[in-house]
Structure 1
Amino acid sequence: MSGAERSLVAAAAPVAAAVGTFGIVFGAAAEPLFGAPLTIASSVVVFSGAAQFTMVGLLAAGASSLSVLWAVTVLGLRHLALGAAIRPRLAGTSPSSRFAAAWFVIDETVGLALTSDR
């Protein structure tokens, strides 16, 4: 492993630990409300912690599905700005690579991308 790769792993390790911890906390909060299959599906399909916890909180409080959809959509709009911020970093990559990278656009990974040397 090169020095640059070691630096990248060292920078990403705290993010990975935080995401893992977050997943455990979300699972504990969502499982009583959704059951295991829907909790797991939510973690696979919804890659936004703020949206996931908002969804759990609103549904637990008895909010309508439309209210939940509206709230998580508004929260998700920030991903447009995050995507625009990292777009220059993805110049020269294939459309399929950009599509795959879009799945990992979260606050933490964008922060890493914007502060890395490349």
Structure 2
Amino acid sequence: MEIFDECLRRIDNLEHRARMEEVLNWVIKTFPNLMPVVKWNQPMFTDHGTYIIGFSAAKHHLAVAPERAGMIHFANEIEEAGLEHTKELVRFKWDNPFDYVLLEKMITFNILDKADCTTFWRK
């Protein structure tokens, strides 16, 4: 988890920092084969050198970026959960319970979908 220390220190709100740390630790525990990395000052996880999931902190939410293909695949579930989103990320509000079920589905989808991917991003 030390790899994410600098990213976590940049989150001024201690409750938000604790939530981010909780989510990152959950990913590490649930998907021990993923490699934790920091790119573009954001915590991410990769598998065989390809991007799987990334996280960033904003004032009102924790953003989760499963890449565009993941957003398309889970569009209905994201809408049904009432989560705000863009084409590239889902916004999980700090004051709401975190949806680990959806996060697990997104990560699992990317691991399987990118099993043969040889680039960092999908082409």
- Fold match (TM-score > 0.5): no
TM range (shorter): 0.3 to 0.5
TM (norm. structure 1) is 0.33
More strand by share: 2
TM (norm. structure 2) is 0.32
**Higher relative contact order (Cα pairs below 8 Å, separated by 6+ residues):** 1
> Which structure would you say has the larger Rg?
1
